[in-house]
Amino acid sequence: MKRVSLKDIARLAGVSPSTVSFVLNGKAKQMRISNALAEKIIEVARREGYHPNQVAVSLRTGKSNMLGLIVESMSGNFFASFARVIEVEAAAHGYKVVYASTENQQQKAHELVSILGHQQVDGYIVTPTPGMEEDIRALAESKKPVVLMDSYFPGIDVPHVLVNNYEGVTKGMEHLIEKGYRRIGFVTVDLNLVQMQERLKGYRDSLQKHNISEEHILYVHYDFERERAIAQVSDFISGPPGLDAIFFATNYLGLLGLETIHRLGYKLPDNLAMICFDDHDVFRFYPPGITCIRQPVEEIAKTALELLMSQIGKTNGVTNTKVEISPSLVVRGTS
């Protein structure tokens, strides 16, 4: 049951460990080792079921072949989809992924430092929360490969990839306006995040572009209880001024909208249109007919990983790259 080591293979093949290492790492040619010998070594390794001890490799090379994925929360469909894509893509590059969720302010710093401190990962993909600014800065300054996603810090030069929030909202607004809606409410959250600002701007610019002067914005408080938020949303939907469409600026807000629909017994004000900026996959829980601005998670994830890989590849510092992915408009059909 003992694991076979490189040395074992060397002994079995009658060569030195160095030779085995060269062959198994594809440097046979380069080291001008005869084909016959190389094949023999490979055969022995295969037969004995040899797998290099990655821990030893890591210690020796200083690379762990692991990536750290730090997200806000592990419960949530967005994370789930995201993580899966990252995992698959990373595997294609020969990397494994270690996850950490920040959940709350305190822990996040700890997690970061802990993983970082032990230098066990070769790079990071992070969904930053407002409190992480300094951690990210530290990471960037120590020249660690990092990619931010879903948000970023305007003051820090780190590559980031996110959905084009502005475009998403304007797309949705165009859709509504084209269908004749005019009294369009916008439900957002009172958090000072850059992506929220962009979404709000999209709403306002769209109205302005079409000469609609009525602006109806509901700011849901960041950390109210759910019930209170639902009450707010419910009032917003049902009360004056008699909106004919509602735009939910986030996934979570859309869910509050869904709950409101439930509460109202699925009896919405006549023809009320609902549209929502969707993370991912919550979509399918909405009733048919609801429109969503879908975040292209797969694309975001893939892009983030590419960005990270290119950083790891060159190792010579990090350039600030911003990639914005276009979201698409999807109408919840009956399938």
Partner DNA sequence: CTGAAAGCGCTTACAG
Report how far residue 60's alpha carbon sits from residue 54's, in angstroms, rounded to the nearest whole number. 10
- β-partners of residue 323 are 161
Report how far residue 288's alpha carbon sits from residue 149's, in angstroms, rounded to the nearest whole number. 30
Report the nearest approach of its own copies to the CB of residue 218 (Å): 20
Report how far residue 281's alpha carbon sits from residue 40's, in angstroms, rounded to the nearest whole number. 51
The answer to whether 13 touches 43, Cβ cutoff 8 Å, is no
Report the nearest approach of its own copies to the CB of residue 98 (Å): 6
The answer to whether 317 touches 142, Cβ cutoff 8 Å, is no
Query: Which residue number, 77 or 197, has a Cβ lying nearer to its own copies?
Result: 77
Say which entry of DNA, its own copies, none residue 109 contacts (CB below 5 to 8 A, set by partner kind): none
Report how far residue 140's alpha carbon sits from residue 159's, in angstroms, rounded to the nearest whole number. 10
Alpha carbon dihedral 332, 333, 334, 335, in 10-degree steps, equals -80
Closest CA to 304 of 158, 106, 132: 158
Report how far residue 85's alpha carbon sits from residue 284's, in angstroms, rounded to the nearest whole number. 19
Say which entry of DNA, its own copies, none residue 213 contacts (CB below 5 to 8 A, set by partner kind): none
Say which entry of its own copies, DNA, none residue 1 contacts (CB below 5 to 8 A, set by partner kind): its own copies
Binding site for its own copies (CB under 8 A): 1, 3, 51-56, 58-59, 64, 73-77, 79-81, 83-84, 87, 96-101, 103, 115, 117-120, 142-143, 226-227, 255, 258-259, 262-263, 265-266, 281-282, 284-285, 287-288, 334-335
Binding site for DNA (CB under 7 A): 3, 5-7, 14-19, 21-22, 24-25, 31-34, 37, 50, 52-53, 56-57, 59-62
Query: Which residue number, 52 or 180, has a Cβ lying nearer to its own copies?
Result: 52
* 306 contact partners, CB below 8 Å, separation of at least 6: none
Query: Which residue number, 52 or 269, has a Cβ lying nearer to DNA?
Result: 52
Report the nearest approach of its own copies to the CB of residue 247 (Å): 21
Report the nearest approach of DNA to the CB of residue 26 (Å): 10
Report the nearest approach of its own copies to the CB of residue 267 (Å): 9
> What's the DSSP call for residue 190?
-
Say which entry of DNA, its own copies, none residue 19 contacts (CB below 5 to 8 A, set by partner kind): DNA
